[in-house]
Amino acid sequence: MILSVAVWQVWKFFRPSGSVSISTDKNDYKKGENIIVEIENKTNRNVCFSSCYPYYLEKKDGNWESYSYDNCSRIDLTGNCVKPKEKKFFQIEDFSYAKEGFHRLSVPACLGCNLVENFREDKKFYSNEFFIK
């Protein structure tokens, strides 16, 4: 009985639970305006992001389509992590390439990773929609 309770507690700790919320500070932006992004980790594990491409900008043209990005020329490691039950804010500075229209951020994440490990995408999260004029 004691062993089964211990196994249950270990499984409960390592099982991913909760969610990750990604939201922008506004719903409308002028082209070239900085975007503040809030990432709230409501899970019981670290949520870490790619050092090469921590996010992709997607535009809605019927379906969501990602802008074209070059291949990363360095090893893709986990660059930033948000600890369990923590919030972090990031600023994205250059959207001069973005076309007018509805957009969102697509954010590949590694669950349970630590800083400076090889990045692996376990899950993708999406921000709210926002308009770039």
Give the three-class secondary structure for 45. Answer: coil
* Residue 61: CATH number of its domain: 2.60.40
- Residue 11, in any domain of the structure: no
Check: CB of residue 39 under 8 Å from CB of residue 86.
no
Per-residue pLDDT tens listing for the chain (133 residues): 555 544 444 444 455 568 999 999 999 999 889 999 999 999 999 999 999 999 999 999 999 999 998 999 999 999 999 999 999 999 998 888 899 999 999 999 999 999 999 999 999 999 999 999 9
Does 2 map to a domain?
no
Residue 7 lies in a domain: no
Q: Which domain holds residue 83?
A: 20-132
Q: Domain count of the chain?
A: 1
Is residue 11 classed as helix, strand or coil in its secondary structure?
Answer: helix
pLDDT of residue 2: 57
Residue 3 lies in a domain: no
Separation of alpha carbons 37 and 114, rounded Å: 21
Residue 115 lies in a domain: yes
| Predicted pLDDT at 1 | 55
Query: Would you say residue 48 lies in a domain?
Result: yes
In what helix (H) or strand (E) does residue 14 lie, and over which residues does it extend?
A: helix 2-14
